[in-house]
Amino acid sequence: MAGTSKPTKTDVLDALRHLILVQELAPGADLDEASLAARYQLSRTPLRDVLRQLAGEGYVEIRENRGARVAAMSHTTLRDFFLAAPMVYGAILRLAARNARPLQIAALKEAQKTFRASLRSGDIAARALANNHFHDVTGQMAANIYLQPSFQRLLIDHARISMTFFRPADPEMAENLDKASQQHDAIIAAIEAGDEAAAAALAIDHWNLSRDRIEQFVMPAALDMTLGDAAPQTRTL
């Protein structure tokens, strides 16, 4: 929001999307209308329009008589995320290879340049947002009104999870990110060639790379044991 001009609804939408994706507004956090209206110099009616749009996109939940909150992330949502992601990613990239237009392919290549730059910068938020944008372009290419809402929600939660598990000093993470970037290049090539089967296969490979890292975050190796595996411990008073 440049200068001192009053923010528009679009400005506020973009600002809140950003804050949610980088977890400056945490999952499940209540959104106080009065505070937001004052912060963004927006009256209640257009602010509620903004919140309703964010709810439709999957960023926000609006609860009757309790106001809006940032979309929550729980064990249930993580389970559903793991179940749905490979199916939705595969369908999106298959359709992207079928439907992509030249201008969209050019936009995807630009998004990949931004992603590569974010890897060099070491900025975790920039990296998560650049990756999100790359995949958002593939969703636009797919142009399917039934898949798009599900894909959008997956991207929101993937970006928020990424903000948590990215570790700049982790050598394994750096190797995975380099591999992810190479997979992005392969995805672009498959889409540009109109190769639906290759694009769908790459979607699964790309998801598996991300899934392994998410699983390490959700269940570290040190905790991956049954109760019977834990050695009994004695306590001294």
Tens digit of each residue's pLDDT (9 = 90 or more) over 103-153: 999 999 999 999 999 988 878 889 999 999 999 999 999 999 999 999 999
Distance (Å, whole) CA 176 – CA 178: 5
Residue 21: both structure tokens together: 């994706």
In CATH terms, 9-70 corresponds, of 2.70.70.10, 1.10.10.10, 1.10.238.10, 1.10.260.40, to 1.10.10.10
Q: Does residue 79 or residue 183 have the better pLDDT? A: 183
At the second CATH level, the architecture of 75-218 is Up-down Bundle (1.20)
pTM attached to this predicted model: 0.82
The amino acid sitting at 161 is: I
Of the candidates 218, 149, 122, 159, which has an alpha carbon nearest to the alpha carbon of residue 24? 159
| Average pLDDT of the chain, as a whole number | 86
